Every structure is written in C-alpha cells, then in structure tokens.
Amino acid sequence: MSRLLPALLTGSLLLGATLATAKDAKPALQYPETRKGAVVDDYHGNKVADPYRWLEDANSPETQAWVEKQNEVTFGVLRSIPVREKIRARLTKIFDYERYGIPFKEGGRYFFAKNSGLQNQSPIYTTQALDQTPLLLLDPNTLAADGTISLSSYQVSPDGRYLAYGVQTSGSDWIEWHVRDVETAQDLPDKIEWSKFSGASWTKDSKGFFYSRYDAGDEKTKLQTSNYFQKVYYHLVGTPQSDDPLVYERKDQKEWGLGAVVSDDGKYLGIHVSQGTSPKNRFFFRALGNGPTKGEVVELLKEGEAMYQFIGNDGPLFYFRTDKDAPRRRLIAIDTTKPGEAPKEIVPQSEEALDAADYVGGRFICSYLKDAKTQVRIFDVIGKKLGEVSFPGIGTAAGFGGKPDDPETFYSFTGFTRPTTIYRYDVATGDNKIVFQPKVDFNPDDYTTEQVFYPSKDGTKVPMFITYKKGLKKDGQNATYLYAYGGFSISLTPTFSAANLTWLEMGGVYAVANLRGGGEYGEAWHEAGMKKNKQNVFDDFIGAAEWLIANKYTSTPKLAIGGGSNGGLLVGACLTQRPDLFGATLPAVGVMDMLRFQKFTIGWAWTSDYGSADDDAAMFAYLRGYSPYHNLKPGTKYPATMVTTSDHDDRVVPAHSYKFAAAMQADQAGPAPVLIRIETKSGHGAGRPTAKIIEESADRWAFLWRELGMR
C-alpha cells in the first residue's frame, strides 16, 4: 500500500467510489462532490466564471477535505491495479544503483554527491584524491526521516574550510542556508532564512558569501504569496543574519531578480539582473578591492535587450555568452575599462545553438546542441578552435566547470539507455577518463533510440527521439508515452531515467518531442513558441502524436501524453483541443489557469513567456482561447486522465490542478476516469525523495497499464 494513503483506507472499499460488476474489472467511479461557487471576473469587459475559486485557498478546511477525498478515490483505483506492486518492485530494483554527481575542487579537495542507490537524498563527500575512499561531509537524509528535506545547492569556500549549503523543506522553493566546517563535518550556528532562487558565492578570503533573499513574510501564506523585490546580502561567517549588510536592491524595480557571483580571481562581484523568466537580462558589477559592500555598482549591460551569461574574466576583460545579434548565441569579450567600446567577438555564432560555455584552463569549452544532441568544441582565448570532446554515442553532456587556471574539468554524459557516467577531461591534452560509471540492472543492447523529424501544422520540421525495445512491431498496438515541454527556452535532450527504463521493459515506447518554445535551436525557436505563438507548441505536440499513429508506432487507444509544469499546461491544452487523439493523459504540476497564474508566488515572472490577461485585452483573448481550465466543455468524452500535483508546490501552486481536475470531473461525459493524485510534503519536483519518485512512477505506469490495455 502506498504510504500516502490515509489511514482510514485500510478496508477493501473506498469512500466515494464503488466497485463495478464482476464482468467489468474497472471501478465505476463516483467522484467526491465539488461545490460550485458564483465567482465571475471581468476581463476587459468579458465576464469569465471561476466556479472553483474556493480551491485556491489551500489552508481552508473545505479544500483540505476535498484533497483527502480525491486522494481516497485515486489511490483506491491505483490499489486495484494488479501490476502496481510488481511495477513498484521493479522500479525499486532499477533505482538501486550507485550514482555520482559531477566533482569540483576547492582548497585542494574534491567535493561531489553520491547516492548508494535508494537513499532519498544524495549525501556530499570530500576527498583529496578521487582514487581514495571519500569522507562523508553532509548527509541530508539525517535532516528528515522521510527524506523531505533536500539540498537546493551548496558551495565550498575558496580555502576549502567551509561548506555553505541550502536546504528546502517538503519541496518548497524557500531555502534555509547553513554553514558547515569541512574539517569537523559539524554545522556552525549560522542560519539564513527567507532566501529563494539563490545560490551562495564566497569572497576570495573565504570569510563570507553573497546570497539573495526576499523580505520576511507570513509563514501561513508563504507558499502562495507573490515574490517581489529580491535583494542581495552578504553573510559574514559566525555572525547572525540580522547583521548581514544589504549589498544591492532596486526599490524602483519590484520584478527584478538579483543574483550575485564573485569572479574566480575574487576581484569583482557580478550582479545578474533578470526580469521574469525571459532569457534577456542585465549585468552589473562592483570591484571588491574595498570590501564586499563598498564601491560603485557599474551598470555594464543595462538595456535588457538580450541574454548575457557571465562565464569568466581576465582581469577587467569580461567574457559572456550572448544572443545579442546572434539568436543561436556566441562568445564575446567586454573591456570594462573602456566604457562605450563595442564588444569583441571571440567565438562567432554557429549553425548549432551554443547551449553552454565555460572558461577553464585558459580555454573556452563550448557546448552546442545539434538537433538536441550535445557537441562540445574547445577554443583558445582568441577564438581559435583547438578540438572537440569525443563522446561514446548520442546523448547529453553537462558540467565542464572550473577556474581559468585549472588543468582539469569534469562532466557527465548520459542517454536514454545510457546511465549517467562521470568523466575527467584534461584541458591541455584533451584526454578523457571515466571517473564514476554506474552499473544498472538492465542490458542497454536490448534497446534502441532513433531520431525522426516530422512536420507540424505549419510545415515546420520538429525533431523527436523514440526509444523502444529492439524488434518492435509497428502494428499500431504499442503502448506509447509521448513527453514534451515546449517553453522558457528549455531544451529536452537525451537523459537516462530509471523510471522510463521500467516503462520500456513493460514493452512501452518512449517518445520525446523537441517542440518550439524550447531552446534546442536558439532564441528564434524559443520565440516561435511564446506569447501569441504559443499555439505552435500545441500544434507541434499534436503533430508528434499524429505522426506516431500514422507511422504505426501506436494508435489513439494506446497513446498517452505527459508533461510537467509548462509541460502540464501543454498536456492540458492538447487534451482540451484534441480529446479524440489520446488514450490517456498525465498532466503534472501544470499551469492550468492561464488567466490567474500571475497572481501566485513567482507566477508573475512567467508573463515574459505567456503574456498577461490583466494587462492586454488581445492577450486575454489569446490566453482564454487555450487555457486548459477554461476550455473544458460539458458533455465531452475526455481520455483517461490522472492529474498530479503536490501540496507544497509553491512554484505552480496546486490550485491550478485542483480547479482543472474538479472541472474535468464535472464535464466528463465518457467512461474514462478523471483522477487527481495529490502528493503530500512535496513540491514542484526538485529534491523529491527517491521513495516518492518510485511511488509516483509506479502509479503513473500502473495507471497507463490499466488505461492503455497493456498486458
């Protein structure tokens, strides 16, 4: 039994659901009654009803009772699926393998994360040499018995003496920072609260670090209240947070996100200024010669007209990855001693999108995406190509961090059926060496991945990866899970997943479509799927489904679609536009109310990709035209659906999923179930304990096994 089930569900029947007759194995569901309110909003003279507005109050007893009753129905259905426990057992076995994070070096020591297999969170280790037995530095599993306290990030001081680490509780985005003595592996009294969307960046003297935070708020409403006016502070180790000096704020710019980074030479504080989730940003800096809080802040790049990622410096010469005059991005250098002088191009724009860049060992390590697959090229400081990094196949490489004088760097490489392996790369010689290679209980030779290009509605060619067991018969009878995201310039690249491997072992086909709105082909690809171009994203996804059916990989009764967050919106929009096309849908932590998303936590930041119904009548009409919650229609036969969300999600508040599920249950005219699975003590996804990942994955595949007729 899932440990998420309420204690009262120990009998064989469920409150709110009855069993069907013996000739029908599926239960005929009676959903909990959901009250309809009379709320009506006025948008630019247009009246829009919001009957389930009351579900936005997550703290009300009525909402909490609704959540409990919905979970009773959902987990009752899941308990009745005969293969559920078998799937869970197989997931547990596959997940039980040793895996590592990417090492980095500070103060003459290496630091890395390592999970023995089924640990809910990955502990942090340190060692002076990678061939030695590492020492345990921090085990986040000791912070909460159920693994619901996770690390958000951690940073070691330049002298290797201190570890600044942030923890998040129950998946919330709020971060609490602590400082640990590396030698003793004991925490100091330091504690920093009300931080969010922040890392820690140490000063060169290792006396303290910069971080970002918001003003203290109400504990009861902090999972829903909007976040504005982020500020940069400096924390001196051994002092209370109340003594932390304010480093930078902008009282005239409530939407600016402020992130601080100290240059590797310790001479400059860079201030990355974002606005919403737009990749366009500003970049300011301050010389640190007079201390962490003194000196003029220079607004180096103040227009916010393009993306500028600071990747390093040689004294006053700053290097950036940018899409200024280069939608597929390039490398430039700016001499900060010569204000007004045009930037110097170091590495020009390529045919492929420049996805990442690092300045290590006097080299620029540039990671490109070639049709959503990683290619890495090495350049010297004047832009001369020195070579490429070779990889053992099609996949995704990440990492390559380090300092300008480091002789080595580390990276990971992974693919759909290739578990993440960690490599050491010698910057001077180009030699690759495996450092950590996992052993997973499966044979990768049993599977294959292919990439196809299919036409969207307007003729645009869209790439899609398809992974399956070798020997697949293209007879239209294969259960297929189609996954995508399509937004915020985020690229989907080949990645290993123990959960997806279990799906493949069940005989399922796993397809990933690289929709417009992502960053696979640079900023033009992103812009083709944002704001009033958002329908392109849905058309791309529908086109992927139609292609899979036309080419006999699957058929409508055997096809499921899934996605999370912006991908949950994608699934919600497509199932309302084409309910006839899918056999099952799995919208996870989705943005389902496109008229009110900006009113909660950090939702206002997404208007850079979505637009806002409040600010623009034309944008209201466009958003109203595809908003999943507002486009459900009574009397429609919808496919089997299991909405998933979490009670501590303060990124996309669970009210989106609550309201959508309530409306869909009310409007469903067909026999297919509409369920909502509400995870407890969990958030948007980051830091979720291994046990909860296994539970939710087992429930997802069991639901699809049932609804797609798998045997």
Query: At which residue do the structure tokens 């930037």 appear?
Result: 343
CA distances 67 to 32, 62, 213, 710, Å, are 10, 9, 32, 29
Query: What are residue 450's DSSP bridge partners?
Result: 466
Pairing relationship of beta strands 99-100 and 109-115 according to DSSP bridges = antiparallel
Taking the C-alpha atoms of residue 700 and residue 95, their distance in angstroms, rounded to an integer, is 16
Marked catalytic residue, from 630, 648, 656, 684: 684
Question: How many Å apart are CA 253 and CA 308, to the nearest integer?
Answer: 19
Check if 44 is active-site: no
The active-site residue out of 152, 157, 489, 565 is 565
Integer CA distances (angstroms), 710 to 197, 244, 503, in order:
42, 58, 11
Question: Contact 14/675 with Cβ under 8 angstroms?
Answer: no
**Pairing between β-strand 281-287 and β-strand 246-248 as defined by DSSP bridges:** unpaired
Specify whether the CB–CB gap between 422 and 410 falls below 8 A: yes
Helices within 611-689 (DSSP H only)? 617-626, 655-667
Using left for φ > 0, alpha for ψ between -120 and 50, and beta otherwise, residue 475 falls in alpha
Q: Is 638 helix (H, G, I), strand (E, B) or coil?
A: coil
Cα separation of 211 and 195, whole Å? 8
Structure tokens at 479: 């259960």
Per-residue CA distances from 114 to 125, 219, 332, 422, 425 (Å):
7, 33, 36, 12, 20
- Opening angle at CA 589, ends 588 and 595, nearest 5: 120
Maximal C-alpha separation, the chain: 81
Residue 112, SS3?
A: strand
- SS3 call for 320: strand
Residue type (1 letter), 561: I
Residues in the chain, total: 711
d(CA 385, CA 186): 46
Alpha carbons 202 and 205: distance in angstroms, whole number:
8
**The token pair that represents 658 in the structure block:** 């609550």
Token representation of residue 342: 């045009």
Q: What are residue 444's phi and psi, to 5 degrees?
A: -65, -20
Q: Report how far residue 339's alpha carbon sits from residue 81's, in angstroms, rounded to the nearest whole number.
A: 67
Distance CA 609, CA 276 (A): 9
SS3 assignment, position 460: coil
Question: DSSP states of 363-390 as a string?
Answer: EEEEEEEETTEEEEEEE-TT--EEEEE-
The pair of three-digit structure tokens given for residue 516, joined into one six-digit string: 């417009």
For the stretch 314-320, contacts whose Cβ atoms lie closer than 8 Å and that sit 24 or more positions apart, written own/partner, are: 314/381, 314/404, 315/265, 315/267, 318/285, 319/346, 319/359, 319/364, 320/283
Examine the residue annotation and report whether 565 is marked as an active-site residue of this protein: yes
Supply the residues annotated as catalytic: 565, 684
